Amino acid sequence: MITKFAKRLLKGLAPAIYGDGRQTRDFISVGDVVDTIILSIKSMEDFKNKVTAFPALFNVGTGTPTSINQLAQKMIEIFELNLQPVYEKAREASFDIMHSYDDNTMAKQNLKFVAKKGIEID
């Protein structure tokens, strides 16, 4: 979605949103994902010689829902364009999840992970 929006914005075109844009997602920075991988590797090394089993899977995200409308507006701001998103009818057979964001409780408890960046740009 970010890539599709960026490609359109680079051409001076408004982002195309399927449906009403109220769907939410949890957008996390690549840097935060890398931090999580490093924390995970370090944790595995710490548990290497212990009998306790270490949970192998974690959800990783910010834990903050961002609507597709918010994402589009933020990207339009970044590209410094004066546009409004174009809304298109949602696909008939769409099985799109309306709201999806992370519960990273296990990553916080076991890895001490907290996302450093959100969708806001510094």
Predicted confidence (pLDDT) per residue in 94-106, tens digit: 667 888 888 888 8
DSSP letter for each residue of 74-97: HHHHHTT----PEEEPPPTT----
Predicted confidence (pLDDT) per residue in 1-36, tens digit: 899 999 999 999 999 999 999 999 999 999 999 999
Percent of the chain with pLDDT over 90: 47
Task: Determine the 3-state secondary structure of 24 from DSSP.
Answer: strand
Greater model confidence, 91 or 32: 32
CATH topology of domain 2-111: UDP-galactose 4-epimerase; domain 1 (3.90.25)
